[in-house]
Amino acid sequence: MDYLMTEIEGVWILEPKVFGDSRGYFMETWQRADFERHIGPISFVQDNESKSSYGVLRGLHYQEGEYSQAKLVRVIKGRVLDVAVDLRKSSPTFGRHIMVELSEDNKRQFFIPRGFAHGFLVMSDEAIFCYKVDNAYAPEHECSIRFNDPTIDIKWPIDESKMNLSPKDTAGVAFRDAVLFD
């Protein structure tokens, strides 16, 4: 596995070594000792999977306070643009975001530490998105920031009229009103 540090501290892109032949391929998607040697200790407690169609935008989600989650995400079918937004007030990159393409072809993974909002936009007909988290889902502590907040200024590559959002995501708060991390 190759570990690529991004310009935002704590956010990493992971590129697995893929061994392919005429029968298909094999890759190791996660190995605790290797991960901890490069990024640090983690204890994932839950795996999740979602299936979405073109234009579905999920996010920008996070859980507040002690319920915050670190995530290791990947796509096993299709293609998405995945985004992490730094909500750590003490961070030199506070309010900045990073976007990375994850696909079944590039097999990249994206590690997002606690203290970030997360979202993704489906760019293929269909996408199956998998993620590991280090804290249980706590719906009463879940927050959502508007995907099109001008302070964050994410340049989504498709028009909002072609996006498919849940009522929760449509009702997300402005960045200035979000619960932030110290």
Q: What is the set of active-site residues?
A: 61, 131
CA 39 – CA 18 distance, rounded (Å):
21
Residue 38 buriedness (CB in 10 A; 0-12 / 13-18 / 19+): middle
Could you tell me if 164 and 57 are in contact, meaning their C-beta atoms sit under 8 angstroms apart? yes
Could you tell me if 1 and 17 are in contact, meaning their C-beta atoms sit under 8 angstroms apart? yes
Query: What is the chain's length?
Result: 182
